[in-house]
């Protein structure tokens, strides 16, 4: 086939594709009708095929450069990400994030068990023999035990009302740091994530066990229950996201390790990003409701936060909505 005939037969399609691409330069393809979207896809596929033929049969001709530029522009138009908007944020928290939570639920459960089993064991041991807490708490045990012997908890005087806003910010920052460390640990094939869960489980269990040994356990439960539901759930989620990355490194499955890691990281990041605002809520409860040591307020905070959070995570985004493009 002569190049002139090739150009004459396909020029109209190329010009129409160029026109559609130009129209999308401003507001993207959101403005296109369903027919125009179908036409755009078809013209892009034809142009891609024409480009391959031109490379093979007319190498060095200017039509090859023209088609290369046209196909690149059309590809960018079709596959570019949607512009950020309030709707994108709403869609993320009402559909994308809850779906990611449910998809990675096995890893979240695994993270929960890795933390809770050592916590229960160390808690029982510390409740029976406070000296065992020195193995998990180290020097901190020497500071906590004398305080408990006096019938006081370490947070009794640590949250004066005037300082609560600043302490709230510190709590939120600390919780986010722990969650990020557990998440980032996935890059070590999950080993750092497992270590973070194990260490935190042993420490939390020992602290709880010590308080029960000195008959202050229910007072501590009264303090932590309000914010603990959200806080622990977020830690389990972010650690589960880290384990998901680690699993992709160890067991990529039928795809290459690089592709498996890419998919796992995308899912894990979705979970980690969505979890961060929940830690803010937990920090606010811990700073302003938990220090009141009011059982009614603490239980209500725990029940309502659990109901709202798990109702949202387990139910939202189950219906797939197909967006209709209108001009």
Tell me the pLDDT tens digit for each residue of 194-226: 999 998 899 889 989 999 999 988 988 888 899
Mean pLDDT of 131-141: 83
Q: Between these two residues, 9 and 157, which has the higher pLDDT value?
A: 9
Mean pLDDT of 291-310: 91
CB-based contacts of 206, cutoff 8 Å, min separation 6:
122, 123, 125, 126, 132, 133, 136, 137, 141
Average pLDDT, the chain: 83
Q: How sure is the predictor about 162, in pLDDT bands with cuts at 50, 70 and 90? A: low
Q: How sure is the predictor about 26, in pLDDT bands with cuts at 50, 70 and 90? A: low
Q: What angle do CA 169, 171, 177 make, to 5 degrees?
A: 105
Name the percent of the chain in helix, strand, coil, to the closest 5. Answer: 85, 0, 15
Among 208-222, 227-241, 307-321, the range scoring the smallest mean pLDDT is 307-321
How far is it, in rounded angstroms, from Cα 131 to Cα 141? 9
User: Is the pLDDT confidence value at 128 over 50?
Assistant: yes
């Amino acid at each position: 086939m002569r190049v002139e005939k090739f150009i004459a037969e396909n020029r109209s399609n190329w010009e129409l594709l160029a026109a559609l691409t130009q129209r999308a330069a401003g507001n993207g393809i959101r403005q296109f009708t369903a027919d125009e979207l179908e036409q755009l896809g078809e013209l892009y596929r034809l142009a891609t095929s024409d480009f391959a033929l031109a490379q093979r049969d007319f190498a060095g001709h200017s039509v090859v450069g023209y088609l290369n530029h046209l196909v690149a522009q059309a590809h960018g138009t079709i596959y570019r990400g949607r512009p950020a908007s309030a709707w994108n944020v709403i869609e993320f928290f009402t559909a994308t994030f809850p779906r990611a939570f449910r998809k990675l639920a096995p890893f979240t459960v695994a993270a929960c068990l890795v933390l809770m089993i050592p916590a229960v064991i160390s808690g029982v041991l510390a409740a029976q023999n406070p000296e065992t807490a020195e193995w998990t708490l180290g020097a901190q045990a020497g500071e906590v035990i004398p305080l408990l012997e006096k019938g006081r908890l370490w947070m009794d005087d640590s949250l004066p009302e005037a300082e609560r806003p600043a302490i709230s910010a510190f709590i939120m920052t600390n919780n986010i740091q722990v969650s990020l460390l557990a998440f980032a640990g996935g890059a070590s094939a999950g080993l750092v994530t497992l270590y973070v869960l194990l260490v935190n489980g042993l420490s939390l269990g020992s602290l709880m066990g010590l308080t029960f040994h000195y008959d202050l356990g229910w007072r501590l439960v009264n303090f932590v229950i309000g914010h603990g539901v959200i806080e622990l759930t977020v830690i389990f989620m972010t650690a589960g996201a880290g384990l998901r990355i680690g699993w992709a490194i160890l067991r990529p499955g039928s795809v290459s390790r690089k592709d498996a890691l890419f998919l796992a990281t995308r899912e894990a990041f979705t979970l980690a990003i969505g979890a961060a605002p929940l830690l803010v809520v937990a920090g606010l409860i811990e700073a302003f409701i938990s220090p009141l040591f009011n059982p009614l307020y603490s239980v209500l905070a725990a029940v309502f936060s659990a109901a709202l959070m798990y109702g949202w995570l387990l139910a939202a985004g189950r219906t797939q909505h197909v967006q209709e493009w209108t001009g």
